[in-house]
Amino acid sequence: MQKWMLKNIKVDYKQMSKELQISEILCKIMVNRGIVEKEVAYDFLNPNLNKLHNPLLMKDLNNGVKVIKQKISEDKKIRIIGDYDVDGVISTYLLYTALSNCGAIVDYEIPHRVEDGYGINNSIIDTAHQDGIDTIITCDNGISAIEQIKHAKELGLTVIVTDHHDVPFIEDEEGNRTYIRSEADAIINHKQLDCQYPFKHLCGGGVVYKFIQVLYAEMGIKQELLEELLQFVAIATVCDVVDLVDENRVLVKKGLELINYTNNIGLKALMKATGIEGKPISTYTLGFVIGPCINATGRLDYAKKGLELLLSNNVDEADALANELHQLNEERKQMTIEGVEQIIKNIESTCAGKDKVFVVYKSGIHESIAGIIAGRIKDKYHVPTIILTDAEDGVKGSARSIEGYNMFEELLKCKDLLTKFGGHPMAAGLSLLSENIESMRERLNQLTTLTEEDLIPKIYIDAQLPLEMITLELAEKLQELEPFGKGNSKPLFAEKELKVTSASVLGVNKNVLKLKLLSKKGKVMEAVYFGNIPEFEKLIINKFGQLEVDKLYKGKGNEIVLDFIYTVGINEYRGNKSVQMIIQSYR
């Protein structure tokens, strides 16, 4: 069951269309994304690098650059400490490349997901000290490493933090929060309360890029070398699922232009290994093909392999690494499918299925894919989901949430039951003793304010769009709103009571449903559906009967009439372009 919601914000679209010289439908889509002012709308339609915010507005950034510049001049050893996800790997690549270009004596370390856990730890610090490292610079981590950085300072190390995660705090019994800061020599994070940087949605790679902007200017490095890095910033930004608005929109738009013509040997090898060589690279490609392969090494092996791929200057080595990453991702996919099936069976065979917050423990689930599984379960049932599995000390897992349920704040209510946790409203990681699992499940469900209405998934429609208005010209105009992603989702349209005149199942795996739709005014339009075909057929049979389904697949006259939510896309075949509907939902 879904609730379809038509966005209807009161704005003079005719005037807006006239001022911006674009169609009213594009104006409506932008307004639905909170873009109302003319200047903001113009910048959205014309993303340009000169619209990037001044990096010197970011607290401690100039100070951090001065420290690094001095360390480079003194030939001090610098070590980058990254993270094992895509953003962390890319951030490490960006920093390592930039510091190398500046002549620094630099190396890197990325923690092992299982052996080390997230972020910088005392073992990594001790090793750095033993190796004669003078300065540690973190990326995509470090903001919460209060005790670890204190340890580093006690050993005489210089520490610079670049991060984008929320600033840690301590909370008293009345719920008052005091935000805390480590002893690092510079903390570069736009989410600090006293940071004047105007845009708060950069990923770790975005923060590092701002740092490099100033460093390159100070060191006299060519602007072209700075812009070359944008293709990697785009990967990090898309894969870390931050809002693709404002500065992020510019970074991704320009990055995609570059990545389609990349000279990076590792990226080219990965495109070849995954079968996307020669095809246009989009946010989808970054988020669902390239990113997961880089991520898979951090999940099932060692994240350094993803970094080594990007740094490789040898074609044969790059091809071998790319094939290994691709294979690891295929293994990860299969493990995820099996894990999801196990969790669904658990939910539907126990009382957990009646909960408003799912807390499911399953032995044998690889801890690195608990978050992916939690996300799949959350999507299937539209219920906040926590997936737990065995760890060295008790159990650990990942949580994924729905709109209206702040997972981090809810877990705060269980902090006495947890040995460790962190995150944000939509996702979190946690550890606890196994004997506390049931207590946490009960407390989360007892204290939740979620209603049955909250648990009904809502689809927000940009506009009701008759088939008569769907043209190739419209599809091409919609491309001006790309790149699509979080904060700028692909426009969703809807139309009621469309007659389905024929259907056929296509694809090697028989997973594409092609439909022919007919409007009341006689307009015929082709549509494709990539969802659950048996579920679609089941709905038709229940409503119209098996006979009508048989007629549908034979292209004979039938009684089937449905409402559809869809996006508008362009189908290219042998040089010819045609517009098509891509079905997202139906009723």
**Per-residue pLDDT in tens (0 to 9) along the chain, 587 residues:** 789 999 989 999 999 999 999 999 999 999 999 999 989 999 999 999 999 999 999 999 999 999 999 999 999 999 999 998 999 999 999 999 999 999 999 999 998 776 766 778 999 999 999 999 999 999 999 999 999 999 999 999 999 999 999 898 888 878 788 999 999 999 999 999 999 999 999 999 999 999 999 999 999 999 899 999 999 999 999 999 899 999 999 999 999 999 999 999 999 999 999 999 999 999 999 999 999 999 988 776 778 999 999 999 999 999 999 999 999 999 999 999 999 999 999 999 887 778 999 999 999 898 889 999 999 999 999 999 999 999 888 999 999 999 999 998 999 999 999 998 888 888 888 999 999 999 999 999 999 999 999 999 999 999 999 999 999 999 999 999 999 999 999 999 999 999 999 999 998 888 899 999 999 999 999 999 999 999 999 999 999 999 999 999 998 889 999 999 999 999 887 778 899 999 999 99
- How far is the C-alpha of 158 from the C-alpha of 555, rounded, in Å? 72
Q: CA nearest 104: which of 142, 70, 64, 153?
A: 70
CA 422 to chain centre: 18
The pLDDT assigned to 109 comes to: 94
Instruction: Give the C-alpha separation, 398 to 373, whole Å.
Output: 9
Contact 110, 83 (CB under 8 A): yes
Give the torsion through C-alpha atoms of 386, 390, 396, 402, to 10 deg: -10
Measured distance CA(463)–CA(467) in Å, rounded = 12
Q: What is the pTM of this model?
A: 0.92
What stretches of 82-134 adopt beta strand conformation (E)?
105-109
| Strand-pair category, 186-188 with 177-179 | unpaired
Q: Give pLDDT, residue 114.
A: 67
DSSP state string for 254-307: HHHHHHTT---HHHHHHHHHTT-TTSPP-HHHIIIIIHHHHHHHHHHS-THHHH
Cα distances from 293 to residues 288, 321, 332, 371, 584, in angstroms, run 9, 11, 9, 16, 26
Residue 94: count other Cβ atoms within 10 Å of its Cβ. Answer: 27
Domains in the chain, start-ordered, CATH in brackets?
3-7+458-586 (2.40.50.460), 55-230 (3.90.1640.30), 350-447 (3.10.310.30)
Contact 290, 260 (CB under 8 A): no
Name the 3-class secondary structure at 323: helix
Residue 116's pLDDT is 67
Which amino acid is residue 249, in one-letter code? R
